[in-house]
């Protein structure tokens, strides 16, 4: 994003959110809101890096040593890249090296290849009783920095330097968050920032092709946030009710009675009644598109554990008796709602509900605020990415 002339608050209100620098303790911020508003000279340029990663190619080099930590960091980075519309299946390459000391040479090779818009170096160094820690940290830090300076390609430093393994785990999806996610957002922002700067004075600006899937996803995002604004939101509720909300709710109530009559799977009847309330409301308070419908991975009772044999059996019985008719009902309602145009976002939610209802038990239902801007939707996705990484790390250690 480039602005010309005076950069006031009104002109930067849609700039990308703050992303803390991946180099720990550096104190460097990467978000435009950390830059004080100033009056530029007429004709000057102000540059901000977009967080839209469509068309970007990212290289990631990961240390195999302390893999218990580096794998969650890699997972967090890949998930965040996907949420920023990077095609992680085709445009993200990962190279594994023995340890953090070997990161700079491979990171520089990736940067020099010309294939990547940014590179992320992921590693963990835990302090021990000898001076080996200081030597590795110093060499790795300077090596990664020099790789970026020498090639002109952003090389994001995502090497955790911790006093203990507990500190490292806390930063790999634990209570402090996932630093891999932060590094990924920084990589996207820096790649776009440098690209916008290179376009200045160029007769033929660089054009980055967007894949059709990424374009479609962003279009759907725009429809979703538009559907959450006034007066569209009340219209969505009305459309849902008129096009089958009441009947869907009634169908779920009948299904709840059916599960109750099975005796064996009666405990799941309460979950079905909860879904019926969301069906009556139009799924709006549920907002499944931002992934508030999700598997629980924390274990515990069978009601919260999709892998529990009893829960699996309950889902099979549900799918055979009630699940598939309700899936057809949701898809039919979605088609009718899509034809109203105003109900497009509601139709998308109905499709999401259809994918949920075929196998509902052991999954969680969460209520969250409805995003009304793309920036708010991106922030909610970031929060969800960190939460999911934390859950996975917890599950892997149980």
Would you tell me which CATH number, out of the four given (2.60.40.2470, 3.50.50.60, 3.10.20.30, 3.40.50.960), belongs to the domain 53-210? 3.40.50.960
CA 305 to CA 364: how far, in whole Å? 10
Please give the pLDDT value at position 392.
Answer: 56
Does residue 34 have a pLDDT over 50?
Answer: no
CA 279 to CA 245: how far, in whole Å? 6
CA distances from 75 to 60, 70, 169, 214 (A): 11, 9, 13, 20
pLDDT tens-digit readout, 316-362: 999 999 999 999 999 998 898 888 876 777 788 788 888 888 888 87
CA distances from 3 to 110, 201, 349 (A): 31, 15, 36
CA atoms within a 13 Å half-sphere pointing along the CA-CB vector of 35: 19
Higher pLDDT, 341 or 53: 53
pLDDT average, residue stretch 281-309: 52
Residue 162 parent element (H or E) = strand 155-162
pLDDT tens-digit readout, 153-174: 999 999 999 999 999 999 998 8
Pairing of strands 118-126, 155-162: parallel
Does residue 4 have a pLDDT over 90?
Answer: no
Please give the pLDDT value at position 148.
Answer: 92
Count CB atoms within 10 A of the CB of residue 17. 16
Catalytic residues: 132
Long-range interactions of 202-211: CB distance < 8 A, separation 24+: 208/54, 208/55, 208/56, 209/55, 210/54, 210/55, 210/85, 211/54, 211/55, 211/87, 211/90
Please give the pLDDT value at position 132.
Answer: 79
Domain residue limits, the chain: 53-210, 229-370
pLDDT average, residue stretch 80-103: 91
Higher pLDDT, 272 or 234: 272
pTM flag (> 0.85): no
| Lowest-confidence segment of 110-119, 298-307, 353-362, 378-387 by average pLDDT | 298-307
- Report phi then psi at 227, rounded to 5: -70, -15
The per-residue DSSP string of 30-44 comes to: -SGGGSPPB-PPTT-
């Amino acid at each position: 994003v480039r602005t010309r002339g005076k950069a006031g608050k009104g002109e930067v209100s849609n700039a990308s959110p703050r992303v803390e620098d991946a180099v720990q303790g550096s104190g460097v911020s990467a978000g435009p809101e950390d830059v004080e508003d100033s009056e530029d000279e007429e004709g000057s340029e102000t540059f901000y890096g977009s967080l839209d990663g469509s068309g970007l190619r990212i290289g990631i080099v990961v240390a195999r040593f302390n893999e218990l930590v580096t794998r969650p960091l890699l997972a967090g980075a890949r998930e965040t890249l996907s949420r920023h519309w990077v095609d992680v299946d085709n445009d993200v390459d990962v190279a594994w090296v023995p340890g953090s000391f070997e990161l700079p040479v491979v990171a520089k090779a990736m940067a020099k290849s010309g294939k990547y818009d940014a590179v992320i170096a992921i590693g963990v160094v835990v302090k021990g009783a000898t001076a080996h820690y200081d030597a590795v940290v110093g060499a790795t830090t300077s090596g990664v920095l020099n790789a970026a300076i020498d090639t002109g390609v952003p090389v994001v430093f995502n090497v955790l330097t911790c006093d203990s393994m507990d500190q490292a785990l806390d930063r790999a999806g634990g209570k402090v968050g996932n630093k891999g996610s932060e590094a990924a957002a920084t990589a996207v922002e820096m790649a776009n920032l440098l690209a916008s700067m290179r376009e200045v004075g160029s007769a033929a600006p660089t054009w980055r092709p967007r894949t059709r899937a990424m374009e479609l996803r962003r279009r759907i995002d725009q429809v979703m946030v538009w559907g959450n604004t006034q007066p569209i939101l009340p219209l969505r509720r009305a459309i849902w009710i008129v096009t089958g909300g009441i009947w869907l709710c009634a169908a779920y109530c009948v299904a709840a009675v059916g599960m109750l009559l099975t005796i064996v799977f009666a405990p799941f009847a309460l979950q079905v009644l909860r879904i019926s309330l969301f069906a009556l409301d139009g799924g709006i308070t549920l907002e499944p598109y931002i992934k508030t419908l999700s598997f629980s991975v924390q274990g515990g009772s069978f009601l919260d554990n999709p892998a529990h044999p009893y829960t699996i059996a309950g889902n099979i019985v549900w799918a055979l008796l009630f699940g598939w008719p309700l899936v057809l009902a949701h898809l039919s309602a979605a088609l009718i709602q899509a034809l109203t145009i105003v109900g497009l976002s509601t139709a998308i939610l109905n499709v999401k509900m259809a994918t949920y209802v075929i196998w509902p038990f052991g999954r969680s239902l969460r209520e969250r605020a409805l995003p009304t801007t793309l920036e708010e939707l991106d922030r909610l996705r970031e929060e969800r990415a960190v939460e999911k990484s934390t859950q996975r790390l917890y599950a892997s250690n149980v």
